[in-house]
């Protein structure tokens, strides 16, 4: 099996290395985004809001801070609300602080995600380019080759053409699927964040009132 993979890779020519680098970068982005979405942002807004509201209802600022402690954007925004609430600031100042934190934190949801679409397109195009170069090599070699060598040269050129096309698609398809799946997860997290922050601000406003 490994010999067949190695032969497939070698027969594809130099373009295979470029596609491999693109694929490796795509896998790295997939892993980083999956960790962020499913590990860093694993707590849903309803759970955070319930703990946040319960603590503030009892005026237990320490518990409120612990409830929203974490590295996710939604936790950073709620932490900003808690700190300003503890400082005794007005609701307008609390809301302004939440908005400032949101401007900084929300872009983290989309960081690097667009690279997956780029990698998918580039891998496909590199595969096509390898195909074209393989065919050019085949036909240019045939023109100058002896009859006995023509079949061998044609086979080499076709191997380059087909293998680079196949590997380009092998790299592109997972990147496209991951981009769609992770984009949907990102959208769901943003909706959850919006709902949670609005409800948290409404709760703080009622407490201030």
pLDDT digits (tens, 9 = 90+) for 91-126: 999 999 999 999 999 999 999 999 999 999 999 999
Q: Where are the domains of the chain?
A: 25-208
Q: Any idea what DSSP says for residue 40? A: I
Percent of the chain scored above 90 by pLDDT? 56
- 127: part of which helix (H) or strand (E)? helix 114-144
Q: Rounded CA gap, 125 and 67, in Å? A: 48
Q: Rounded CA gap, 116 and 167, in Å? A: 16
Token pair belonging to 144: 């100058």
Token pair 């709760």 in the structure block, residue: 203
Token pair belonging to 148: 């006995």
User: At 15, is the pLDDT very low, low, confident or very high (cuts 50, 70, 90)?
Assistant: confident
Q: Rounded CA gap, 72 and 106, in Å? A: 10
Lowest mean pLDDT among 28-32, 141-145, 177-181, 194-198: 141-145
* Nearest-5° Cα angle at 181, 162 to 32: 90
The residue with greater pLDDT, 156 or 179, is 179
Tens digit of each residue's pLDDT (9 = 90 or more) over 120-135:
999 999 998 888 887 7
What is the value of pTM for the model shown?
0.85
Q: What is the dihedral of CA 177, 183, 188, 191, to 10 degrees?
A: -160
User: What was the pLDDT predicted at 104?
Assistant: 95
Percent of the chain scored above 70 by pLDDT? 91
């Amino acid at each position: 099996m490994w010999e067949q993979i190695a032969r497939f890779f070698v027969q594809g020519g130099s373009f295979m290395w470029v596609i491999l680098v693109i694929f490796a970068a795509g896998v790295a982005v997939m892993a980083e985004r999956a960790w962020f979405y499913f590990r860093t942002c694993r707590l849903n807004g309803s759970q955070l809001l319930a703990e946040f509201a319960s603590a503030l209802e009892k005026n237990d600022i320490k518990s409120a801070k612990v409830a929203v402690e974490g590295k996710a954007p939604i936790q950073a925004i709620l932490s900003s609300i808690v700190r300003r609430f503890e400082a005794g600031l007005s609701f307008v100042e609390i809301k302004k602080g939440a908005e400032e934190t949101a401007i900084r934190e929300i872009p983290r949801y989309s960081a690097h995600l667009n690279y997956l679409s780029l990698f998918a397109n580039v891998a496909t195009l590199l595969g096509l380019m390898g195909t074209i170069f393989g065919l050019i090599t085949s036909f240019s070699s045939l023109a100058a080759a002896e009859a006995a060598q023509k079949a061998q040269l044609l086979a080499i050129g076709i191997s380059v053409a087909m293998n680079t096309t196949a590997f380009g698609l092998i790299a592109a398809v997972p990147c496209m699927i991951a981009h769609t799946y992770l984009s949907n997860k990102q959208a769901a997290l943003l909706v959850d964040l919006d709902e949670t922050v609005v409800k948290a601000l409404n709760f703080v406003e009622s407490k201030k009132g």
